[in-house]
Amino acid sequence: MHPKFAAGEPALLIGKTLVIADLHIGIEHEYFRAGIRIPSQLERLTKRLDAILKSTGAKKVIILGDVKHKITGVSRDEERDIPAFFSRFLGKVGMEIVLGNHDPLIERVLPKGVIVHPASGLLYRDFYLCHGHAWPGSGLEKARYVVIGHNQPLIELRDRLGYRWVEQVWIRTRLESGKLEVRFPKMKKPPQLIVMPAFNELSGGVCVNREKELMGPVVKAANMPKAKIYLLDGTYLGMLGDL
C-alpha cells in the first residue's frame, strides 16, 4: 500500500486511516507568557480535523505525538481542551495516539476509548508510525515506509524584492541500511522516510533550507541531502541538498 496525501493539509491517508502529528494543544499558554494573546485554538483544530475526515471518509485517526504542548506535567488549559478535543470524535472514528516527547502524563486527561501506543511506535500495515524523538521498535524491519513528526518541517521562501516567509513542507527520502544495520540487523531493504508537517501551524518548526539539521535518531539514519521537499499542495520544490 502506498501513502496518500490529503491535498493542502498536513495529513496522510493509509487506506481509511488518517495520520496527523504535532497538535500541541495548549501552546497558547506559552505565547501568553511571552506577552502574545492568542485565543484557544481548540475549535479551529477540531473543525479542521472534522473537515478532513468528511472529505476523505477516514474511519480512524492516529496522531503521531505531541498531542499536548507542555512537556513537564499538564497545564489547566490542556486538562480542559484535550478531553474536549477527543470527545468530539470518539464514537464517530477510532482515535489512537503515539506518545511524543511533549506527552508525559497525558493519559491522565485522555477520555476512555483513546488507544495509546508507546514512543517506540507501531507497525501499521506497511507503515511504521512513530513521533520521531525515539528509536522505532523491531517492527521497522517489516515496513516499507516510516512516518514521523517531531521536526515540523518548514521552508523559507524569498521573492525578488527580498521579502521572506515560511511554508510547511513534507519530506520524503530513504533510510540508509549502513546506518541501521547495527540496530536492525535483519533489515533487508531500508524503508522510505516521510516527515510530516505539524497539524498546528502555531507550533513553529525547522526551516530545512536554513537549518538543515533535523532532530531525532530516525532522521540521522536518512539520506537527507537527497530528500525530496513538497509543499502541502503537492508542489515539488527539489532535493534538500539543492535548496
Query: What residue ranges do the domains of the chain occupy?
Result: 4-242
Confidence (pLDDT) at 202 = 85
**38/46: higher pLDDT:** 46
Confidence (pLDDT) at 210 = 82
Confidence (pLDDT) at 197 = 97
At 10, the pLDDT band (50, 70, 90 cuts) reads very high
Of the given ranges (4-8, 70-74, 147-151), which has the lowest mean pLDDT? Answer: 70-74
Burial class (CB within 10 angstroms; exposed 0-12, middle 13-18, buried 19+) of 157? middle
Rounded CA gap, 223 and 227, in Å?
7
What average pLDDT is seen over the chain?
91
pLDDT at 32 over 70: no
Mean pLDDT across the stretch 99-103?
Answer: 95
Length, in residues, of the chain: 243
| Contact by Cβ (8 Å): 78, 68 | yes
Q: Give 87's Cβ-side CA count (13 Å radius).
A: 11
pLDDT at 33 over 90: no
Confidence (pLDDT) at 180 = 82
Confidence (pLDDT) at 212 = 64
Rounded CA gap, 181 and 11, in Å?
30
Confidence (pLDDT) at 211 = 74
Query: Measured between alpha carbons, how far is residue 128 from residues 57, 123, 124, 223 in Å?
Result: 22, 4, 6, 18
CB atoms within 10 A of CB 39: 8
Query: Measured between alpha carbons, how far is residue 102 from residues 29, 161, 228 in Å?
Result: 14, 39, 28
Reported as type and span, the H/E element at residue 228 is strand 228-231
Confidence (pLDDT) at 64 = 98
